[in-house]
Structure 1
Amino acid sequence: MARSLKSSQLLLFVFLLHLLSVTWSWKKEEFRNCNQTPFCKQSRSRKPGSCSFIASEPVIENGELVAKLIAKPLQNQEEEPEKLEPLILRISVYHGGILRFKIDESPDSPVTKKRFEVPDVLMKDLDEKKLWLQRISSPENGKGSVLYLSPGYEAVLQFDPFEIYIRKGNDPNAIISFNSNGLFNFEQLQNKREGDDWEERFRSHTDSRPFGPQSISFDISFHKANNVYGIPEHATSLALAPTKGPGIESEPYRLFNLDVFEYISESPFGLYGSIPVMISHNSERTTGFFWLNAAEMQIDVLGHGWNAIDGIAPQHEAIDTHWMAEAGVLDAFFFLGPTPKDVIGQYTKVTGTSAMPQYFATAYHQCRWNYRDEEDVAEVDAKFDEHDIPYDVLWLDIEHTDGKRYFTWDKLLFPNPTEMQNKLMAKGRHMVTIVDPHIKRDDGFALHKEAAKLGYYVKDYSGKDYDGWCWPGSSSYLDMLNPEIRSWWAEKFSLENYVGSTRSLYIWNDMNEPSVFNGPEVTMPRDAIHFGGAEHREVHNAYGYYFHMATAEGLLKRGGGNDRPFVLSRAFFPGSQRVGAIWTGDNSADWDHLRVTIPMVLTLGLTGISFSGADVGGFFGNPEPELLVRWYQLGAYYPFFRGHAHHDTRRREPWLFGEKNTALIREAIHIRYALLPYYYTLFREASVSGVPVMRPLWIEFPADEATFNNDEAFMVGNSLLVQGIYTEGARSTIVYLPRGQTWYDMRSGDAYSGGKNYTLEVSMESIPSFQKGGTVIPRKDRFRRSSTQTMDDPFSLVIALNSSMEAEGELYMDDGKSYDYEQGAYIHRHFVFSKGILTSSSMRSTKTSKKTLSSNSVIERVIVLGLSSSAKSALIEPAKHTTEVEPGPLTLRKGSSAVGVTIRKPNVRIDEDWAIKLV
């Protein structure tokens, strides 16, 4: 007994040493670089024109073009290549300017293993959008086939040299192309021969690689592009910098979901999620590319002259990119655009738009690893009320559980969890608890016993349940690729199974890359086995997505199918936007990390994930008060707004930094709560169109080249421009306001002309923010304890006039929690100000409406910026009564020169048609 105890203590000591070395800081040597990754090293060494495939025998089958890709012998090849079956190419076209091309092994291949294709990502109705190709034609040179893509555009398959590209009409110049530089390579599966050594080794880990090399690589060219964007997640600039070319020495951008503590900024290193989507843009056109593949991926953005021969650069103008993946198939999409919003819409037609969140989830969240006990929870909750700071959600990290066993509570620290949640709910507040994918291997833990008995864990290469180390110690990981296991997991969230939970409790999925402290690169071995015989190398980047999906399904089942789930995930993949919110992981309390949150969140939005944010204040470290205040002022505009901190940091609730800083943080949070109606309207837009809540400037101003590289400012919807402050002690900042618009300072109402850089004085009171002329923003200016308590409160409308003295905007409302809006239970208003008259009309569709929604809320104030009027009153129609008009906006900064009027208490109902005329 004593001997056994000493052994376990030694094991625990070794584990803790490893834990400290791996997780408390980012160590570069723990992770592979390209030269240590054979498929990347080999692919990166390929030369332009080295592709050995030609296309042949094109035919139309089931509305698609099908052709064979045959490998031809390379020049000066000494040995006869092994005879391989041709690859099969399929090209299909979808409504709205979408081209799909797929390359896979031939069904006649003698190798029994089938390459993995990622399920449950593409929309189920995608095939309904497919255009049924009737015939193919040939270009004049007879060396290819031409397909109709959309009005005025064609897709071309060139046979030899093999290439796929899109062109406009008969213009021979490509818009976007595949294999223009001849880098396509496809390592076909082969039967192992005597003497073959397929194992790979990294540090102390050996990857058995039982099926050998199976990588895919190719080039994509974005012709005449100014910049390319996308491929999250990296802590780097919004416009992707070149990684290879003359004078450039950099690692490729890596897409491999990893648990990276204290990641560094300005790095192509892969972080917690992976979305293989890239968008190109110039002042005339935007295009996009998406590769559906869950294996590790490395991507080079190639600098000008990368493919020069004898010092002579090629003539075509393009940003060339090189895509490399360890396994999978080539299942790729071109998005034609032509506008940025078109490309985002085309991508989300393929993978889905953002889920509509509950109203409370769009407000402020308070989190820490960890709130100690129920007394701590009650004290934090009471302090928010004492300091008049609203919040909606309080979070509990892993320490709330019984020994890191999820779905349990520490009975000493949290003896009355249901009562605790109900006390919060009485104020309209909610709670979130953490549920991670690692399951403690403890025979006394019912969840583990059941999962092991049913065979629901991922297996190691020998077929046994995979056993890795994470927070509970020895742990196993559920095989979430299996739909049966996802359904089983979902049942664990029922009120009967999750004892101590309530309907007001929601979930946080962390560590779902998956994180394995003693695994290679702090994750699961690549030769672990999943459902259907898939290797982990093929599934890896999608594992967290499936776990996120199963958890959200659990909350949906708990609510009887009509409560919208809220689940935050750290890992993500294409399709995650349909499931829930994402955050950017374990950042640090420094100014560089504050700044890099903007391009990180913007990039997530460009690639479909609108509901995202970063830990306000930084997860690691202790922010100085100035940094914390600036982070709250910026974070109040993130789509997902949460303060969070590591347990080794000092407590940093908003009231702990002195009265002055408390007031500044309170004001920042109040701004978010005032704007919640506008944010909720934008979340509705994202759920319908895919266009994100938080947007790069060039999304709204695609022809303004001054916006293309700006990732310090951003748009919230089409109406608000926000400029962060990213340096300590800043007393001024430069703000670029896009051309063709009038802009109004949100605090003073002062007007600025667009198309200029302004050097503005800044104080600690706020960060620069502006409303665009020609827009209407709905607000709620009364502050309550939580957003739930504001549902019937009155609205204010802020109207910013353009040069034509006009403006328009929208307001969307529903019950904030259910799916009744899908049956018509919502209010959607269109506001138009023109010729001195403000009108409200319904935008609600009545075609399939089975339910309705009414509201007692009224408009209590209308602020019109940019209007100089002598009107003393306003006439309300159809009620035919008048109300008071005052000159100037209600709140003016000292020295302001703002022009405007305020219409007081029109008291018109938000759910009715009306007109307000200045008289």
Structure 2
Amino acid sequence: MKEDYQMKVSRKLLSVTPEDNYLLVKTDGAQFQVYLLDENIIRIRGTFKDQFDTEESYALVKTAWDDQLDDLFKDERQKVAPLAIKAEDKGKEYLIAGPKYDLHINKEPFEFKITNKNGTVLHEDLAKRSFMQDDHGRSYHYTKMGDHNFFYGFGEKSGELNKFKRRMRMHNTDSLGWNATKSDPLYKMIPFYINLDASLNTATGMFYNNSYDSVFDMDSEHSNYWKRFSYFECDGGDIDLFFIGGPTVKDVVEHYTDLTGRSAMAPLASLGYMGSTMYYTELDTNSDQAILDFVDTCKKNGIPCDGFFLSSGYTSGSDGKRYVFNWNKKRFPDPNNFVEELKQRGVLLAPNIKPGMLLTHPFMKDFEAGNAFVKTPDKKGYEVDQYWGGDAHFIDFTSEDGRNTWNDFMTKALLSKGITSIWNDNNEYEINDGQAQVAADGLGKPIESLKPIMSTMMAKSARKAIHDYNPNVRPYITNRAGFAGIQRYAQTWAGDNRTSWTNVKYNVPTILGMGLSGVANQGCDIGGFDGPAPEPELFVRWVQNGIFQPRFSIHSSNDDNTVTEPWMYPKFMSYIRDAIRLRYRLVPYFYSLLFEASTKGSPIMRPLVYEFQEDPKVLEESFEFMLGSSLLVANVLDKGQTIKSVYLPKGANWVNLSDGHYYDGGQTIQVPVDLHSIPMFLRTGGIIPTAPGLMNIHNQVIDSLNLLIEPSEASSFTLYEDDGKTNDYQSGNYLTTNYQVSSSNDGVVVDVHNAGSYASKVKQFKLEVLCPQTAPAQVSILGKEIEQFLNYDKFVNASQGWFFNGENRRVIVKFERPSEADYQVALNFKVKDLISI
């Protein structure tokens, strides 16, 4: 039963008391625990009750306090000693001084204020309204706003990247066919945002560790009686606030993922093209053969493919309803052979599974016996609610019984057949009665407090099942829903998007916002899931855009009896094929960026503000983005475009990769485009590794590597390699290769440093160095000059040497892997005097 609540507002400070590693702050309306977690993060935890709730977080991997779930997360969580904390009475306020940030507690009216060491205000509560609880039990935290605030993150949201003036609800929901400009909420719930104050060029972050339904209002609401404000509102639980320092957007993301975890290192093949459609699995018979034919047709048409997301039609019973873990034998008469046939073709299978089990499910008694479900409020039965196909029970993934029963069936039905990839779908847990009970790993709580946690724990559970069945296989999990920290376990995607020009465009800022929210590995259904087949131009543009998303899958459930396939428009297939092959050439770059995401939390697709925060013209940019730090992508996203307007950020100069033309940063240029165009610009100092000729990641060894280098600015790039399949990298079996580029009037030097125990399969290297002014006079490796070729045909057949391509002003240096771990490639630009004697 819900409690009776009274209005409470913190207006006056009553006391500040040192406790073990934290300060206890009491006011007339609430009490707070204040921790200096580290030099970048301040925790302010508030409750309106007499006692704080038990510490129990499913999101945090870095803590400084005992937590009831420490054992559950023992392999992920790091408990640190917090910084020493002391409150100094300054008369009207208490001052808590930290290494980088100072926390000020104003006595009356009560408020928290955070400044940097120069005294610049980075956060300030709205005094007299700072922390409040209403008579419905909802809690609020109000923050003052300035005139130059830009807000990013908030997890998966529609609309443009900057959420200023937006009011957004945090609630997991199944948003079929969602409107990409304004639908809210969507599938995921990540109560975190970045506040960039453009007047200070300083970014900070706010993470509210609360999984109740909540709201962020970023100056959408206005009152004449208060200064401008934003606020966070939650339906229950503590206000558990983590202030995260910058000063750059990049810093905030790194510190936030230090708190909630970095993206999982997925298998290398997950970066390939993943085929999918609901259509094949809804055929009356022989769906398996239809999928094998799809893979064979990809190969016939020269289109790489490394995976297939298997839609839930494979589980359909005789009544046409989905029954998870039940193979439909008319459609898939021999699942073991089907999985093996795909493996022989170099294709992994990721079957769709759903946590809602219809009451007519043939395995229902087994799951009931396993005590696997969410319970009714009185705990006397299992909760029933509406689901796809009818009434259903729901797996309780905060219950060890629930996880074990689920994983047992997953192992028997899927993993035992050689499957190592799982697609978790329809896991938003839209259970209407918030008082339905879940185990909460021994604490017992109402479902309203843990709905998004169910989705995250479903992904954790899948990883455990795969690890238990085959400890050295690297899991590949894809999740539709989740909470903060979902990145530790799964890749995600933006659910059932609508086929439209609006969606191909506005899916970009949705993905960029997820990257800023710690989820680096994500994407959307290319071509659109819901609605009619995409028209030819739209489909081409969507694929050209989708190849830069970490999750690249063409997936559809078209309502006009069509299937979205790469060859659906034969006259346009060459554009699709060329784009997908470009994706495959970029696989070494993507994999290195995924490694960076797993170690630093960096997004793979990055909004321009992430790399060029100092440029005020990028603060509102939603549709151009950086792939890593080197490549700017300005896809054509509007119908019928022949001229693309591209803004090139200040802070670098740029090379148009289509024609080699150099541009100064800080200007907008007009680029002619046709249907083949994918506007890409290399940053000066940019380094991009590519794999020539790669057509299948599973069955083809990457034994040749090209590096595109723009040397006019000093730069570096770290290439990451491992076996791409196992967990050996966790015990150090990987290789990092750092390429350090420097240049002067006399030449370009590329210093190469290899570190690690993994034996790279790359035997042949080709450096393509942009030389817009002067060709080299000589090239040396390890101090020894190598041969120059003037005849390109001879150069192609040589194992070592260099050739200058005058058409694109690039010098190509080709050589076999040196035996030395460290070596240097030097280009000498001293002009030869061919006339003087």
- Is contact 2:157-2:513 (8 Å) kept? no
- Is contact 2:486-2:519 (8 Å) kept? yes
* Pair 1:263-2:214 in alignment: no
Structure 1, residues 521-540: CA drift from partner, whole Å, max 9, x if none? xx442221111431122112
Give the alignment partner of residue 396 of structure 1, picking from 303, 307, 310. 310
Q: What corresponds to 2:688 in structure 1?
A: 777
Q: How does 1:512-661 map to 2 (within 5 A)?
A: 512-515=427-430, 523-531=431-439, 532-560=443-471, 562-621=472-531, 622-646=533-557, 648-649=559-560, 650-659=562-571, 661=572
Give the alignment partner of residue 412 of structure 1, picking from 330, 336, 354. 330
Cα separation, partners in 2 of 1:426 and 1:343, compared to 1, 3 Å: same
Q: What corresponds to 1:81 in structure 2?
A: none
SS in 1 for 2:140: strand
Give the alignment partner of residue 351 of structure 1, picking from 251, 255, 260. 260
CA shift at 1:776, angstroms? Answer: 1.2
Which residue identity does 2:570 align to in structure 1? Answer: G
CA shift at 1:115, angstroms? Answer: 5.2
CA shift at 1:543, angstroms? Answer: 2.2
Structure 1, residues 276-301: CA drift from partner, whole Å, max 9, x if none? 11101144211010101111111211
Structure 2 Cα separation of the partners of residues 654 and 911 of structure 1:
44
Structure 1, residues 197-244: CA drift from partner, whole Å, max 9, x if none? xxxxxxxxxxxxxxxx3210121235564311121322111001314x
* Pair 1:441-2:392 in alignment: no
- Is contact 1:577-1:608 (8 Å) kept? yes
Structure 1 Cα separation of the partners of residues 28 and 131 of structure 2:
12
Identity, in percent, stands at 26
Cα separation, partners in 2 of 1:822 and 1:100, compared to 1, 3 Å: same
Structure 2 Cα separation of the partners of residues 647 and 759 of structure 1:
36
* Pair 1:875-2:780 in alignment: yes
* Pair 1:460-2:380 in alignment: no
- Is contact 2:775-2:811 (8 Å) kept? no
Structure 2 Cα separation of the partners of residues 137 and 627 of structure 1:
62
Structure 1, residues 816-866: CA drift from partner, whole Å, max 9, x if none? 122222222111111123343443433636xxxxxx211241344221124
Structure 1 Cα separation of the partners of residues 240 and 400 of structure 2:
22
CA shift at 1:482, angstroms? Answer: 2.0
Q: How does 1:720-731 map to 2 (within 5 A)?
A: 720-731=631-642
SS in 2 for 1:861: strand
Q: What corresponds to 1:198 in structure 2?
A: none
Which residue identity does 1:417 align to in structure 2? Answer: P
Q: What corresponds to 1:197 in structure 2?
A: none
Q: What corresponds to 1:366 in structure 2?
A: 275
Cα separation, partners in 2 of 1:725 and 1:413, compared to 1, 3 Å: same
Structure 1 Cα separation of the partners of residues 268 and 444 of structure 2:
41
Structure 1 Cα separation of the partners of residues 55 and 667 of structure 2:
49
- Is contact 2:415-2:469 (8 Å) kept? no
Structure 2 Cα separation of the partners of residues 918 and 703 of structure 1:
33
Structure 2 Cα separation of the partners of residues 507 and 769 of structure 1:
33
Give the alignment partner of residue 831 of structure 1, picking from 739, 748, 772. 739
Which residue identity does 1:383 align to in structure 2? Answer: T
Q: What corresponds to 1:812 in structure 2?
A: 720
Q: What corresponds to 2:284 in structure 1?
A: none
Structure 2 Cα separation of the partners of residues 886 and 323 of structure 1:
67
For structure 1, the 5+ residue unaligned runs are 1-37, 72-86, 109-113, 189-212, 244-251, 516-522, 846-851, 891-895
Structure 1, residues 606-645: CA drift from partner, whole Å, max 9, x if none? 0100001011000012110000000000000011111100
Which residue identity does 1:94 align to in structure 2? Answer: L
Count of matched residue positions in the alignment of Structure 1 and Structure 2:
784
* Pair 1:334-2:237 in alignment: no
Q: What corresponds to 1:377 in structure 2?
A: 291
Which residue identity does 1:336 align to in structure 2? Answer: G
Structure 2 Cα separation of the partners of residues 808 and 227 of structure 1:
30
For structure 2, the 5+ residue unaligned runs are 66-78, 282-286, 797-804, 829-837
Structure 2 Cα separation of the partners of residues 768 and 902 of structure 1:
23
- Is contact 2:722-2:760 (8 Å) kept? no
- Is contact 2:632-2:680 (8 Å) kept? yes
Give the alignment partner of residue 101 of structure 1, picking from 31, 34, 44. 44
- Is contact 1:461-1:528 (8 Å) kept? yes
Structure 2 Cα separation of the partners of residues 239 and 647 of structure 1:
32
Structure 1, residues 478-507: CA drift from partner, whole Å, max 9, x if none? 11122443244334333xx22674334411
Structure 1, residues 50-70: CA drift from partner, whole Å, max 9, x if none? 944422221111110112222
SS in 2 for 1:360: helix
* Pair 1:54-2:12 in alignment: yes
- Is contact 1:236-1:600 (8 Å) kept? yes
SS in 2 for 1:809: strand
Moved more, 852-861 or 217-226: 217-226
Q: How does 1:105-504 map to 2 (within 5 A)?
A: 105-107=48-50, 119-124=57-62, 126-127=64-65, 128-139=79-90, 142-151=91-100, 153-169=101-117, 171=119, 173-180=120-127, 182-187=129-134, 213-221=136-144, 223=146, 225-243=148-166, 252-267=167-182, 269-283=184-198, 284-302=201-219, 306-309=222-225, 314=227, 320-372=229-281, 373-403=287-317, 404-442=322-360, 444-445=362-363, 448-463=364-379, 464-494=381-411, 497-498=412-413, 501-504=416-419
Structure 1, residues 51-105: CA drift from partner, whole Å, max 9, x if none? 444222211111101122223xxxxxxxxxxxxxxx3310001223100011125
Moved more, 376-385 or 873-882: 873-882
Q: What corresponds to 1:508 in structure 2?
A: 423
CA shift at 1:603, angstroms? Answer: 0.4
CA shift at 1:870, angstroms? Answer: 3.6
Q: What corresponds to 2:834 in structure 1?
A: none
Structure 2 Cα separation of the partners of residues 121 and 64 of structure 1:
21
Moved more, 645-654 or 575-584: 645-654
CA shift at 1:268, angstroms? Answer: 5.7
Structure 1, residues 393-440: CA drift from partner, whole Å, max 9, x if none? 012111111422222211111011111111221232201101100123
SS in 2 for 1:377: helix
- Is contact 2:396-2:438 (8 Å) kept? yes
SS in 1 for 2:188: coil
Which residue identity does 2:229 align to in structure 1? Answer: D
- Is contact 1:585-1:614 (8 Å) kept? yes
Which residue identity does 1:162 align to in structure 2? Answer: F
- Is contact 2:370-2:405 (8 Å) kept? no
Structure 1 Cα separation of the partners of residues 771 and 20 of structure 2:
59
- Is contact 2:711-2:748 (8 Å) kept? no
SS in 2 for 1:787: coil
- Is contact 2:267-2:476 (8 Å) kept? yes
Which residue identity does 1:182 align to in structure 2? Answer: R
Which residue identity does 2:60 align to in structure 1? Answer: L
TM-score when normalising by structure 2: 0.89
- Is contact 1:405-1:440 (8 Å) kept? yes
- Is contact 1:405-1:472 (8 Å) kept? no
CA shift at 1:451, angstroms? Answer: 2.1
CA RMSD in angstroms comes to 2.8
Which residue identity does 1:276 align to in structure 2? Answer: P
Structure 2 Cα separation of the partners of residues 662 and 748 of structure 1:
24
- Is contact 1:697-1:714 (8 Å) kept? yes
Structure 2 Cα separation of the partners of residues 299 and 374 of structure 1:
46
Q: What corresponds to 1:861 in structure 2?
A: 766
Structure 2 Cα separation of the partners of residues 719 and 90 of structure 1:
43
Structure 2 Cα separation of the partners of residues 669 and 477 of structure 1:
39
- Is contact 1:908-1:914 (8 Å) kept? no
- Is contact 2:685-2:711 (8 Å) kept? yes
Structure 2 Cα separation of the partners of residues 53 and 540 of structure 1:
33
CA shift at 1:157, angstroms? Answer: 1.6
